[in-house]
Structure 1
């Protein structure tokens, strides 16, 4: 079981809002996540969040151009729209008013 200090480490500040992201994963990975959750008393989403936080730096080093990586390391994360022309699955819908 996780204590409250461990859970607090991954909670966003009140001003920030968590985003929901849907991903398809191999059934074997899903079973392993479920086992971690059931054994520890945590939730699969907690472990996914830990995996993402622990691995995103390595992915950035491989996939981002040097200038963008430097921005990210300086704490200046540009918005995703700055790097692509077409909308994607995670864009917010635009409504005519």
Structure 2
């Protein structure tokens, strides 16, 4: 049982670090106003796919859709959608199950 707990803890940490990285990538275009928004055309669908891949089930699908919207809409790159989804998955949703 301890081995499974260690694996779950490592997965949790890996998803947090990847989420922070992907949020930083998404915010890069925010640092270059107007020019960077064109990069979102490529990043938005990729970010939505990555989110859907990282979080399975309904959470992944809903978060993937909102991540796509957040990245494709102008001036919304500041929202850390990957980090918020991680927080929801491991803290808010966890409380709902208990």
Tell me, yes or no, whether TM beats 0.5. no
Structure with more of its chain in helix, by fraction: 2
* The structure with more radius of gyration: 1
